[in-house]
Amino acid sequence: MDYDALDASLDALCHGETDTVALMATIACELHHAHPLSDWTGFYRVTAPELLKIGPYQGGHGCLVIPFSRGVCGAVARSGETLIVPDVEAFADHIACSSTTRSEIVLPVRNGAGQLLGVLDLDSNTPDAFTETDATRLEAILARLFRDAA
C-alpha cells in the first residue's frame, strides 16, 4: 500500500474542504481503490446519541444502522480507539454486514474539537488483511483531513 501517494492525492483533492460528507466520500473512494485488500471501505456517521448510520462508501451494501452498543464499529465509537480485527469470527460481537468479510480495521473520526463524527471501516475478504502501519497512517490521514470539519 503506497500511503505516500494516497496522502498526496487526498491532500490535493480535499484541500480546504470542511464538509464532513464531502470528505468522507472522497476519502472512501481514494482509499478503496488504493488499498489492495479492502473489499468494502466506508464511513458510519454519528447521527444521534449512541447511533451510527451508513455514510459514503465503496463496495457492496453495508449495514444501514449500527448502535454504539454493537459490533466492531460500535466498539470503536464507544472507546475512541482504533481496532484491528484479524479474524471477524473471533470477535464475539461482530455484525456480519457481508458474509464474505474475514477481517477489518475500524478507526474513529474526530474533528479538531474532538467531536466524534463517525468511524472509518475497511473490510476484507482476506484474513488478517490490516496492519499497525495501516492503523498509524490512516489515523494520521483522518486527523489531518477532518481537523476543520463541521
User: Chain centroid to CA 103: how far?
Assistant: 13
Domain assignment present for residue 97? The answer is yes
Domain assignment present for residue 124? The answer is yes
Q: Which residue range(s) make up the domain with 55?
A: 3-145
Domain assignment present for residue 7? The answer is yes
Give the per-residue pLDDT at 55: 97
CB atoms within 10 A of CB 95: 15
- Predicted confidence (pLDDT) at residue 97 exceeds the cutoff of 90: no
Tell me the pLDDT tens digit for each residue of 22-59: 999 999 999 999 999 999 999 999 999 999 999 999 99
Domain assignment present for residue 101? The answer is yes
How far apart are the C-alpha atoms of 72 and 28, rounded to whole Å? 18
Domain count, the chain: 1
- Predicted confidence (pLDDT) at residue 144 exceeds the cutoff of 80: yes
The set of residues, in sequence order, having a beta carbon less than 8 Å from that of 150 and lying 6+ positions away, is 18, 19, 20, 111
Give the per-residue pLDDT at 61: 87
Tell me if 34 sits within 8 A of 2, measured CB to CB: yes
**39-48, 75-84, 93-102, 132-141: which has the minimum mean pLDDT?**
93-102
Give the per-residue pLDDT at 131: 97
CATH number of the domain where residue 63 is located:
3.30.450.40
Domain assignment present for residue 67? The answer is yes
Give the per-residue pLDDT at 87: 92
Confidence (pTM) = 0.95
Domain assignment present for residue 74? The answer is yes
Per-residue burial over 14-29, b if 16 or more Cβ lie within 10 Å, else e, is beeeeebeebbbbbbb
Domain assignment present for residue 150? The answer is no
